[in-house]
Amino acid sequence: MNVSLAVWRSTKTTSGFLVSAALSLLGLTCVTFVIGRFIPVDPVLAIVGDHATRSTYDQTRLALGLDRSIPEQFLIYLGKVLHGDLGTSVITSNPVLSDLMHFFPATLELATIATILGVLLGVPAGVVAGACKGRWPDHVVRIVGLFGYSMPVFWMGLMGLFLFYGKLNWVAGPGRIDAGYEDLLDPVTGVILIDSAMAGAWDVFRNALAHIVLPASILGYLSLAYIARMTRSFTIAQLSQEYTTTALIKGLTYWAMVWRHAFPNILVPLITVIGLSYATLLEGAVLTETVFAWPGLGLYITQSLFNADMNAVLGGTIVVGVVFIGINVLSDALYRLVDPRLRTA
């Protein structure tokens, strides 16, 4: 009976996740459709150009289905999106989905390393700051976090390039990899560090690592500042609870109580914070990618917007939305792993 109840609850939870994700995707598709239809950019002119003949203009308009009613256009647009057809990029003349699959791994690689740095440094720093509230470790973490929030990311990028690349020559310059290494590796995952390691091309791996270390560190610093601040707040809130005093009375040391009792209770909200930080970086750290000429999703969407390539812009918007929805669903699943109380909810 208990097993059947657990299975039923698990099925109900999974169904809830799927329905929520489907409705979110439908809403996202509606928003992108409205944006694409009501912005002051003629999609036909973006394709045929300003000097096209009237007959060419009309034929292209008919081919795009713009002569139909708005509900019909939306259904056509929805059907294409569900089949992975996001249109063709005006700039590259490639299918938008193909372009996004080419550019997204660069952003994925950069954002993942930055988030790992932010978590590994930000979580312990936030716990220590919260546990030492009002003392010097707390002040140090708060000052470090304040700088992370205050300094513009493009300024940090430029100063980092000037100092560590231009003056000290500790890292490689802008770009994802030197031009001489581009044709030495067959892409498998699209993530150069993984592909080069799988192929045993360690010279390519070292070159790619030298390029990514600076932009990833800058984004990691921003992630660290946010994660540390939120972790500090969660830790302070938990340390004010009565169970922490009980643990101390029973003979636990202060730091044993912090890590063994308080820290597990901040994991659920902390997962949300980490997930949001990761999703924000994945949507495209536009300024960082621009400063470092990093061929990622943010740079692709920005260049497409400047060139009125709305198929690329809207396709990128859908991908960003799917990433946010996916990370939210993953976060909900992780909640149940770290908090046993939610497994029976």
Q: What pLDDT, on a 0 to 100 scale, did the predictor assign at position 122?
A: 94
Contact 260, 252 (CB under 8 A): yes
In the predicted structure, residue 331 carries a pLDDT above the cut 90 = no
Rounded distance, CA 342 to CA 132, Å?
30
Q: Which of 82, 116, 146 is the last residue of a domain?
A: 82
First to last CA, the chain: 17
Residue 242: which of 256, 261, 264, 260 has the closest Cα? 261
Whether residues 107 and 48 share a domain: the answer is no
Whether residues 141 and 176 share a domain: the answer is yes
Mean pLDDT of 128-148: 91
Cα-only R_g, the chain:
24
Mean pLDDT of 200-217: 91
Whether residues 135 and 241 share a domain: the answer is yes
- Quick count: other Cβ atoms within 10 Å of Cβ 122? 31
Give the single-character DSSP code of 134: T
In the predicted structure, residue 9 carries a pLDDT above the cut 80 = no
- Judged by average pLDDT, the poorest of 54-58, 114-118, 270-274 is 54-58
Whether residues 183 and 281 share a domain: the answer is yes
Whether residues 47 and 103 share a domain: the answer is no
Give the chain's domain count. 2
Average pLDDT, the chain: 83
Whether residues 19 and 139 share a domain: the answer is no
Q: What pLDDT, on a 0 to 100 scale, did the predictor assign at position 102?
A: 87
Mean pLDDT of 131-136: 92
Q: Which of 19, 50, 82 is the last residue of a domain?
A: 82
Question: In terms of residue numbers, what domain contains 145?
Answer: 96-344
- Enumerate the H helices of 39-95 as residue ranges: 43-48, 54-63, 70-82
Q: What pLDDT, on a 0 to 100 scale, did the predictor assign at position 81?
A: 82
Residue 91 counted as domain residue? no
Q: Looking at residue 100, which CATH number applies to its domain?
A: 1.10.3720.10
Burial class of 230 by CB neighbour count within 10 A (0 to 12, 13 to 18, 19+)? buried
Give phi and psi for 220, each to the nearest 5.
-65, -35
* Helix, strand, coil percentages, rounded to 5, for the chain: 80, 0, 20
Whether residues 226 and 135 share a domain: the answer is yes
